[in-house]
């Protein structure tokens, strides 16, 4: 069954999620105060008014802004906002349980009464998480919360019996498709898993779904890239049945060995000297850095990176290029673009490289393409470590040394020297066709 894995006992989490669906989404109750009618239309509409209709566009972090937005709300609205945050954080495992607990209780305390940190639904075994949400989920938490509010408002317009669509896999699909969603929200996958844990894999990213199906030969890269959520789910159901038949007694989980070894990270690449094993880090590799950022003041830098990506999209569109953005960034960058500029964005890469190369290319901050060829690749360096963009550029050149593409690193004036020093490290200087610093142009945001 999809709910089982060897990594952790998910029973407490799934029991808590089932309680929330039954009492708060289908019913109008409360997560933390049984018997209270909290998840009702008037209270949810108040949160909608405070959070969605009055966005905080400052550069403060998510929690600071959320507290400010809820400052004038009623105690009931403040409590349900804390419960919504609890529901939002129930799936991701790339945030520590103590951080989740602190954030939830901080919002609850706005109502003037403390929420005991030893509450059963705040226990570590409930908040440990199901699977990584990756950095995208944390970067887009305001959008994910807005989507959760939209889901809840839609359900509350329906009668109690009709809300049972959360118990019917067939009914769930047309309903979730009808709820307004900005970008590609991961919470739709999380809610689907919590509603149907025996059918849906604990995967909150369609990127991972595609990689798994491609690695196991269920479909080609281009075909699987065009599939809907339901098509991906059903292909994984069929794949699970096939693999389980081959190992009837095994607890099959795509994030555990030996199944993970087939699709994740380690890949075989042919070289003149023979096959070598390579590792292509995915978005989840940045989870620990995101945990630190959530407790610091990273969002202003994150916001600046989206602004720079939007500038690069705008310039590329004016020059007649089609533009690729990583799926995790697309929604936030699109908000900064005009409709005519968004028309230049690609939904799928029209490239015929091997899966390892495609996985690397898909994570590059901005790509300009002409037809089926890449013309320029841009990495926006705004993180303290600097490495991520440089490593992607180096990975790309190592995998495809004869690729004819212009490479660019965008870094602030005060970081240009740091970026250049990092490019002179041996790992970047001993590439087959010469040092990375000779192949990469460096620009500041003001010149982008």
Alpha-carbon gap, residue 83 to 101, rounded angstroms: 11
Angstrom distance (rounded) from CA 139 to CA 62: 9
pLDDT < 70 regions, the chain = 1-2, 135, 265-303, 382-387, 414-415, 442-448
432 falls within a domain: yes
Please tell me the predicted confidence (pLDDT) of residue 60: 83
Q: Do 301 and 226 contact (CB within 8 A), yes or no? A: no
Query: What pLDDT was estimated at residue 267?
Result: 54
Same structural domain, 184 and 289: no
Give residues with Cβ within 8 angstroms of 121, minimum separation 6. 16, 19, 31, 32, 86
Q: What does the pLDDT read at residue 289?
A: 41
- Write phi, then psi, for 379 (nearest 5 degrees): -120, 130
Range of the domain at 163: 11-195
Of 145, 175, 195, which one is at a domain's C-terminal end? 195
**Residue 3 domain flag:** no
The reply to whether 272 falls in a domain is: no
Q: What phi and psi values does residue 306 have, to the nearest 5 degrees?
A: -65, -40
425 and 342 within one domain: yes
Number of domains observed in the structure of the chain: 3
pLDDT for 292: 39
The candidate with the shortest Cα–Cα distance to 153, out of 41, 21, 30, is: 41
> Could you read off the pLDDT of 332-342 as tens digits, one per residue?
898 899 999 99
Place of tokens 């965008």: 410
């Amino acid at each position: 069954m999809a709910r089982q894995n060897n990594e952790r006992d998910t029973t407490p989490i799934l029991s808590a999620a089932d309680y929330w669906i039954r009492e708060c989404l289908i019913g109008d109750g409360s997560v933390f105060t049984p018997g209270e009618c909290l998840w009702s239309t008037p209270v949810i509409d108040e949160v909608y008014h405070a959070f969605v209709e009055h966005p905080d566009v400052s550069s403060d972090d998510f929690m600071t802004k959320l507290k400010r937005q809820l400052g004038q709300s009623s105690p009931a609205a403040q409590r349900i906002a804390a419960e919504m945050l609890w529901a939002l954080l129930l799936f991701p495992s790339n945030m520590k349980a103590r951080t989740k607990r602190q954030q939830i209780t901080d919002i609850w305390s706005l109502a003037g009464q403390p929420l005991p940190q030893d509450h059963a639904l705040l226990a570590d075994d409930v908040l440990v998480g199901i699977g990584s949400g990756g950095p995208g989920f944390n970067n887009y938490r305001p959008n994910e919360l807005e989507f959760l509010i939209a889901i809840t408002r839609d359900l509350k317009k329906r009668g109690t019996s009709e809300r049972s669509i959360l118990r019917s896999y067939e009914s769930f699909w047309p309903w979730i498709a009808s709820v307004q969603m900005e970008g590609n929200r991961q919470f739709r996958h999380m809610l689907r898993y919590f509603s149907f844990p025996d059918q849906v894999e604990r995967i909150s990213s369609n990127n991972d779904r595609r990689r798994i199906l491609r690695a196991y030969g269920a479909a080609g890269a281009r075909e699987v890239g065009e599939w809907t959520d339901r098509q991906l789910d059903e292909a994984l159901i069929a794949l699970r049945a096939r693999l389980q038949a081959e190992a009837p007694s095994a607890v099959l989980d795509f994030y555990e060995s030996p199944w993970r070894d087939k699709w994740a990270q380690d890949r075989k690449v042919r070289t003149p000297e023979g096959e070598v094993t390579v590792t292509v880090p995915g978005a989840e590799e940045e989870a620990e850095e995101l945990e630190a950022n959530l407790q610091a003041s990273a969002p202003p830098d994150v916001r600046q990176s989206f602004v720079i990506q939007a500038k690069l999209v705008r310039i590329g569109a004016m020059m007649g290029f089609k533009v690729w953005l990583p799926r995790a960034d697309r929604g936030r960058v699109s908000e900064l673009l005009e409709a005519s500029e968004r028309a230049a964005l690609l939904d799928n890469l029209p490239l015929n490289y091997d899966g390892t190369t495609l996985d690397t290319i898909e994570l590059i901050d901005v790509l300009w393409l002409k037809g089926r060829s890449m013309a320029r690749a841009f990495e926006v360096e705004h993180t303290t470590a600097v490495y991520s963009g440089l490593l992607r550029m180096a990975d790309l050149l190592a995998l495809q040394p004869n690729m004819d593409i212009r490479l660019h690193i965008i870094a602030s004036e005060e970081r240009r020297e740091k970026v250049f020093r990092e490019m002179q490290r041996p790992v970047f200087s001993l590439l087959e066709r010469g040092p990375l610093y000779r192949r990469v142009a460096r620009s500041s945001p003001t010149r982008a």
